Amino acid sequence: MRKFKLTLAYDGTAYHGWQSQNSGRGVADQIESALARLFPSAPRLTSSSRTDTGVHARGLVTHFEVPCTESRIPARQLALAINAGLPDDVRVIAATRAPASFHARFDATAKEYRYSIWNHPAMDPLARHRAWHVPRLLDLAAMRSAAVHFVGTHDFRAFTTKRDGRLGAPLRTVNRCEIVRRGAEITFRIEASGFLYKMCRGIVGTLVQVGEGRCPAGQVLEMLASHDRRTTGSNAPAHGLVLWQVFYRPRGQ
């Protein structure tokens, strides 16, 4: 068998998340369909992450394996070949051979998500599918003070939603939680060793609540300690979220 690593970008607006769906409207369905046209074994994908309905990506990593007898396309041409069978809103950005030991999910050391807000009374129509419109002026200094409290290892039960009744290990280590403003656009950059279900959107929704003056920045510490989802802000809408990058250790380390 030969293993290949793909780095993907997609606009999630038209899809029911990353996962394969009975409807065929998962992002994975589009790529596996394109792979089936190239490889008779119809390989399945193993991904670094699962994005929700409407969430975008520009750095999701996945891998697949095919028998050596089917691996006739040079790696440098593989991305072009797969993209020829994909819709315009899904693209393979890079395709490389991977060692047999590589695993897209378990080898990942950290992930970065970015969330965009359009903070202006009038929404930019060109940004409507990639940014949350928050018309009220936000207190950026208060939001940045609150964001600092998320950095470090914490129990994030108050910032997640159970998926199928399962929570998963609640401890996560956030390496960075930064807020950058350029004109009307505010970007949240959140990097962590891993994320709970809807954790990013819960963090952003709470920070916007702080920015609107509905709770003080220091209350984030109380929210984390409560382990109670009812104490935090509502989830930010899905369409402002992008899986930006997945990090791996350099080979040999």
Catalytic residues: 52
Residue 214: φ, ψ to 5°: -85, -15
Strands of 53-199 (E only): list them: 56-66, 90-98, 108-118, 132-133, 152-155, 171-182, 185-192
Q: Which of 191, 205, 60, 238 is nearest to 134 (CA)?
A: 205
- Rounded to whole angstroms, the Cα distance separating 181 from 187 reads 6
- Rounded to whole angstroms, the Cα distance separating 27 from 40 reads 20
Determine whether 229 is exposed, middle or buried from the number of CB atoms within 10 Å of its CB (0-12, 13-18, 19+).
middle
- Rounded to whole angstroms, the Cα distance separating 142 from 69 reads 59
Q: Which amino acid is at 24?
A: G
For residue 152, the cross-strand partners are 174
C-alpha neighbours within 13 Å on the C-beta side of residue 178: 7
- Rounded to whole angstroms, the Cα distance separating 28 from 19 reads 6
Q: Which amino acid is at 115?
A: Y
> 185 by DSSP, 3-state: which?
strand
